[in-house]
Amino acid sequence: MSFEMPIEKWASAVNAVTIGATAADGGTRTSVVTVGGDTALPFLSFEGKSPNRPAIALEVLDVPPSEWPAPMAEAVGDVCQDTGAWACKCVEEFGADLICLRLVGAHPDQGNRSAEECAQTVKSVLSAVGVPLIIWGCGQADKDNEIIPRCSEVAAGENCLLGSATQDNYKTITAACMADGHKLITEAPLDINIQKQVNILVTDMGIDPSRIIMYQATGGLGYGMEYAYSIMERTRLAALAADRMLSMPLLAQVGADCWKAKEARTSEEVAPEWGPVAERGVVWEATTATCFLHGGTHIFVMWHPGAAALLRKTIDGLMSEEG
């Protein structure tokens, strides 16, 4: 008796979104990243296609990191004192597809850098690397509304990805994105209903859904990873069923989530039974990323180059089956 593979037929696809603009498109990037376009659940190549490879961004900060875990300091080295040089190392040495610049130094409690200072940092990173940029505010709504428009302006035409629009604070960043030709990150606190609502709010302002990337404030391994996975899966199913307000590609901040975990940070002296700290955080981050890869994440914002390398290897293997 012959076996017939049960095949799901889907009505729609995830949007394909391109980040970065080369000279031909009015920018100065030497490479661009396109994600999404999937017509089936992740890597079910017998049901549909994932035409675009998931992308890896490495995160850099506008100020030297404080309270960094030892394995991070060791992997990145002194270059973390200079944002441009740090970004350059992420691309040239660690192979990042994008740079995620997080403007933590703008936070009123962490340096309160001005909009102009932030804009200078954006410019320095743009000139240091040729890959597309993700520019993320400090997370304090009022301050982000000050710095993001200026950073957006100095990067006009570069087709960056700006983060993030939330249910309570979306107007300024959406307007900046539209004015300067960028893509937008919409954020929700691990809640698919709020994610959809934010997408409606920003598209109501006139931004096209094809210019949006979605970010659910995720949890790493041991801190809600399964729940994040289930939301990713449900989001993909909604996209494939033609829910236009959930058809955008997904981004995950894997590095930031994982390196908060005590399992990634605690030293061997305190917890010898957990094994060498040099490996623990890397594996924690790579494991979480692998899970989210199967959940349908398109852009991974990673911290550790070792974890990024492990993720890249997994992507290589899965994409080779995509044909």
Partner 1 sequence: MYAIGERINGMFKSVAAAINDGNPEPIQQLAREQLAAGADCLDVNVGPAAADAVAAMEWLVKTVREVTDAALAIDTTKPEVMRKGLALAGPGSVVNSTKGQQEQLDIFIPMAVEYQASLIALTIDENGIPRDANGRCEIALRVVAAAMEKGLEPDRLLIDGVILPVNVTQPTPGHVLETIRNVKLLSDPAPKTVLGLSNVSQGTAQRALVNRTYLVMALAAGLDAAILDVLDSDLIDAMITSELLMDQAVYCDDFLKAYRSRAT
Count of residues near partner 1 by CB under 8 A: 17
Choice from 245, 252, 277, 293 touching partner 1 (CB under 8 A): 245
Provide CB contacts within 8 A for 13, sequence distance 6+. Answer: 37, 38, 39, 48, 239, 240, 247
Burial class (CB in 10 A: 0-12, 13-18, 19+), 23: exposed
Choice from 190, 192, 217, 319 touching partner 1 (CB under 8 A): 192
In order of 115, 118, 134, 153, 181, the CA distances from 148 in angstroms are 8, 9, 12, 8, 14
Select 166 or 203, whichever has its Cβ closest to partner 1.
203
Told to check if 200 binds partner 1 by CB under 8 A, we report yes
Choice from 194, 217, 309, 319 touching partner 1 (CB under 8 A): 194
Q: Residue 297 Cβ, how far from partner 1 at the closest point, in Å?
A: 18
Contact between 60 and 44 under an 8 Å Cβ cutoff? The reply is: no
Residues 141-170 as x/- pattern, contact with partner 1 by CB under 8 A: ------------------------------
For residue 307 the two structure tokens come to 């974890």
Select 234 or 294, whichever has its Cβ closest to partner 1.
234
Q: How far apart are CA 38 and CA 35, in angstroms?
A: 9
Q: Residue 41 Cβ, how far from partner 1 at the closest point, in Å?
A: 16
Select 178 or 192, whichever has its Cβ closest to partner 1.
192
For residue 322 the two structure tokens come to 């995509």
End-to-end CA distance of the chain: 29
Q: Interface with partner 1 by CB under 8 A: which residues?
A: 192-197, 200-201, 203-204, 234, 238, 242-246
